[in-house]
Chains A and B, each alone.
Chain A
Amino acid sequence: NAGVTQTPKFQVLKTGQSMTLQCAQDMNHEYMSWYRQDPGMGLRLIHYSVGAGITDQGEVPNGYNVSRSTTEDFPLRLELAAPSQTSVYFCASSSGGPYGYTFGSGTRLTVV
């Protein structure tokens, strides 16, 4: 099993550009989430999903969009990138309950 796969691993964007961070899991997990991690801030929830077709906002959703058309995929869309979105982005999935989340290896995004 591959677990949670994130692509790309690194990306540099110019302000105003758009891009999609990809996330796929092969564990048939219902729950998926996107987090960003900044120095001194810990991990903050951007968006999450409790199943295909169902998404909701987390703590810091502004500037990001998500969709969940299949159980496996949960892409994160940045429409107009801003320098404040420079961060490390983690996607994670879970079957729920006491099993916690499995994280992807992250995408390091720099917006210049």
Chain B
Amino acid sequence: RKEVEQDPGPFNVPEGATVAFNCTYSNSASQSFFWYRQDCRKEPKLLMSVYSSGNEDGRFTAQLNRASQYISLLIRDSKLSDSATYLCVVNNGNNRLAFGKGNQVVVIP
């Protein structure tokens, strides 16, 4: 079983709509969790850390469910500039990160 699994999509989202996706992780001892954004041919950039209580940053909301070992990301009021690949990332200890393959989001005008 892969350490981090994501449905690659693509997720075609009308502008202004809400999109949500999950990822699952296999290591129950994982310590911290992140969502990264990666634009085509660019480096990944940290979007937000994910906390057990859930957290929100503007139009983005992240949730963590440790019991079921999944992480979610919700994007409200999608903008054209949100088109990117969203990477689910898990810290498995000693700051060794495991990456999912990413959810590709395409926001359509």
Contact = CB atoms under 8 A, between A and B. Distances in A.
Contacts of B32: 97-98
B86 interface: no
Contact of B95 (A35, A96, A106): A96
Contacts, number: 51
Interface residues of B, number: 21
B99 interface: yes
A100 interface: yes
A98 B99 CA distance: 16
Contacts of A101: 46, 95, 97
Q: Categorize the interface residue count of chain A.
A: 20 to 34
Nearest to A59: B98
A25 interface: no
B102 A42 contact: yes
A33 interface: yes
A58 B97 CA distance: 10
B42 interface: yes
Interface in A6-62: 31, 33, 35, 40-45, 48, 50, 58
A103 B45 contact: yes
Nearest to A6: B43
Interface of A: 31, 33, 35, 40-45, 48, 50, 58, 90, 94, 96-106
Interface of B: 32, 34, 36, 42-46, 49, 51, 87, 89, 94-102
